[in-house]
Amino acid sequence: MKTSRFAFCLVLVNLLVGCATPTTLAAPTSNAPTPPRRASEIAPTQSAPAQVQAGVVETIDTLAAKQKFDAYTHLAVNNSTSFARDAQNRLRMLYTDQTGALTLLTQSTDGKWTRAPVPTHTSSPIKTPALKFDNGKLYAAWIEEVAGAPHLEFAEGGIDAATGQVTWARSHIGEVALSAPQNAIKFLTFAVTGAGKPILAVTEGNPDIYAHVFTSTGKLQFSPLNSGLGKVSKSSDPAIAADKQLAVIAWEENWAGLGAGREAHLLMRLSRDGGQTWDTAKNLLASGETLGGDPSVCIAGDALYATWQQTVPINKGAIFAARLLPGMSQFELITFAGQTTPGKIGDGWLPNIDCAPSRIAISWEHTTGEYFAKEEHAIATAYLLDANTTPRVVYGTLSNPAPTNASFDLNSHILLSTDGARADVFWVTVAQKNQREFTLTLKHRVDQIK
């Protein structure tokens, strides 16, 4: 479960509603990729003959920061994504820039980046903006932190195929009535069904206590999420994926009275009619109670995939992956040759997943230490090939083989190409000058999976 790790203090400038003229950014800076680290050092040994070739790391932008946890405020967190590629293979990114303005960055096929503002409902600070590409359009969702009643916002972006310019049509989904005035709304995730219908979910808390789910017509009848399968003290960290008529919601519940390391459980609901109706809540795994939290989910055709973190002794994290194939109603752990623990992909926290037919890409904050020891974190990647049959795994390069207080990496995202041969990996590098001075830079690397 995520705790009070975010400080939301961005100031949003007033933006023009509608289509804006993009501004060309300076050419990104680059540095040579870090040397590969042995896969056995970050995850179970893999026996597949495939390999990953890491590209040059580029710096996309510098982000505003007052503390290291601001690495999680400008972008979506692991349960969603802020990145997409459109039909013309342009790379898109939704984030809040140095001024706090909601901004769409676009990298054209020549490598140049441009920026354009995205229309917002109010001038309030923005939280965890997320981005999707589907049905030939861009879709965006975000939280506007209006005091006392945070707003959930959604926008549909029509793309000019020739210029790449985006014209946004914004929708105000609604205001979230807080159960207590000191609470906040955070960790937004969303998906869009084949009919273009948005499904959004957020966490309310201070700390986390409720996970809420909304559509364009309001809150779903089973919101806030509560499976009824255990003695629930709180729910949080929802993750959503949708593709045409198939949709899934996964979330974390804290089941009281089970002892340290056994409170966090993962639950799920499925819809097979585009979110019109949902089945009953179930344990994520068909094998029974599913320990873990902070899930991320994706859909490729008729297969669903999930990843999550599980706390293991003593206060360490392990990353797991599972699949739900046709004919199944719940997930099963993914196993492969050389794996020492069924389903385990690596060590660390906050995994993010993307998938293509028969392939999965997972990124996460790698560490063999504690969640809050952020100065020890680097970004790891794993690629599961033949994920819907007999999986085999290959690991990418660590973003930093030796993180220190001076430089460490957080909040990773991964975007897999439709053929599964290329992955865009993103993260935020935190440079700590002293206890009060931090510099955040948004990094990007391309992995070729062969």
Q: What tens digit of pLDDT does each residue of 358-387 get?
A: 999 999 999 999 999 999 999 999 999 999
Mean pLDDT of 52-62: 97
Tell which residue, 242, 243, 170, has the closest CA to residue 213.
Answer: 242
pLDDT digits (tens, 9 = 90+) for 110-125: 899 999 999 999 889 9
Instruction: Report pTM.
Output: 0.89
List of residues 6+ apart from 38 with CB closer than 8 A: none
C-alpha dist (Å) from residue 44 to 21, 51, 247 = 48, 15, 31
Average pLDDT of the chain is 89
pLDDT digits (tens, 9 = 90+) for 186-230: 999 999 998 889 999 999 998 889 999 999 999 999 999 999 998
Structure tokens at 145: 């932190």
Instruction: Tabulate helix, strand, coil % of the chain (nearest 5).
Output: 5, 50, 45
Show me where the domains of the chain are located.
Answer: 73-378
Class of domain 73-378: mainly beta
- The model's confidence at residue 164, banded by pLDDT at 50, 70 and 90, is very high
Residues 242, 273: Cα–Cα separation, whole Å: 10
